């Protein structure tokens, strides 16, 4: 099993360009998440999904959109990139557990620089 | 006030030392607690869950104090391979598995 994979691993964009980050998991997890990690800050949740066809906003959703057309894939889109979106982006997935918390499994991350 | 606060470190310790990290959380309704480990330029990985009674996994011991809203991680007999950033993580059940991450405490173990 590959676990959680992310593409691309690195990307440099110019301000105003768009791009899509792809996350895939082969563990049949219901929940998927997109986080960003910036120096001196904890991971912050951008958007999440509790199942195929559903998405919801997290803590810092502005400037991002997501889609979950298939259970195993979760896409993160930047429509018009800004320098403030320079960050490391992590995708994660977890099983559903009623009333509790499950371990989240993370992908290797995407390092994005916006010039 | 941050929801989960940690001393950023770095903690520089020699091999074999015992080191302790602390973490405080602001939401008294938090229900589950974890320590994740993150190596440099890698993804976070679960180190251990933290239970109310305290729990141990080899050289690692985690403690939870709900009254003080405080979590700790103790590492005994530090190894070079323990060098990493340790993330304190708190779960708030709000209809989904929401995790709140601390910014992490960096540990550097030297020979």
pLDDT digits (tens, 9 = 90+) for B26-76: 988 888 899 999 999 999 999 999 988 889 999 999 999 999 999 999 999
The per-residue pLDDT for B93 is 67
Nearest Cα to A63, choosing from A26, A18, A108?
Answer: A18
Average pLDDT over residues A74-82: 97
Q: Which chain B positions have a beta carbon within 8 Å of A108's beta carbon?
A: 42-43
Residue with tokens 């320590």: B35
Nearest Cα to B99, choosing from A53, A42, A25?
Answer: A42
Q: Which chain A positions have a beta carbon within 8 Å of B106's beta carbon?
A: none
The per-residue pLDDT for A38 is 94
* Contact yes or no for B103 and A90 at CB 8 A: no
B98 interfacial to chain A (CB closer than 8 Å)? yes
The pair of structure tokens assigned to A57 is 């906003």
Q: Which chain A positions have a beta carbon within 8 Å of B102's beta carbon?
A: 42
* Contact yes or no for B97 and A104 at CB 8 A: yes
The per-residue pLDDT for A96 is 75
The pair of structure tokens assigned to B33 is 């607690």
Q: Which chain A positions have a beta carbon within 8 Å of B31's beta carbon?
A: 100-101
Distances (CA, A) of A100 to A41, A53, A106, B81: 25, 23, 19, 31
B-chain residue closest to A51, CA distance: B96
C-beta of residue B92 within 8 angstroms of C-beta of residue B101: no
Nearest Cα to B96, choosing from A69, A91, A55?
Answer: A55
């Amino acid at each position: 099993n590959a676990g959680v994979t992310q593409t691309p691993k690195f990307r440099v964009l110019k301000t105003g360009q768009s791009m899509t980050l792809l996350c895939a998991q082969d563990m049949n997890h219901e929940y998927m998440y997109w986080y960003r990690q910036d120096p001196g800050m904890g991971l912050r949740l951008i958007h999440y999904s509790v199942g195929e066809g559903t998405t919801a906003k997290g803590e810092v959703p502005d400037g991002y959109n997501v889609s979950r057309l298939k259970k195993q894939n979760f896409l993160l889109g930047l429509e018009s990139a800004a320098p403030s979106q320079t960050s490391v982006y992590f995708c994660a997935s977890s099983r559903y557990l009623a009333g509790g918390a499950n371990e989240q499994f993370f992908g290797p991350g995407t390092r994005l620089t916006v010039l | 006030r941050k929801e989960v606060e940690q001393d950023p470190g770095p903690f520089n310790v020699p091999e074999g030392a015992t080191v302790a990290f602390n973490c405080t959380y602001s939401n008294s309704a938090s229900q589950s607690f974890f320590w994740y480990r993150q190596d440099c330029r890698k993804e976070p990985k679960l180190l251990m869950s933290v239970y109310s009674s305290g729990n141990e996994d080899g050289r690692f011991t985690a403690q939870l104090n709900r009254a003080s809203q405080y979590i700790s991680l103790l590492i005994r007999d530090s190894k070079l391979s323990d060098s990493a950033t340790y993330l304190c993580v708190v779960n708030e059940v709000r209809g989904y598995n929401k995790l709140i991450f601390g910014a992490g405490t960096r540990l550097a173990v030297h020979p």
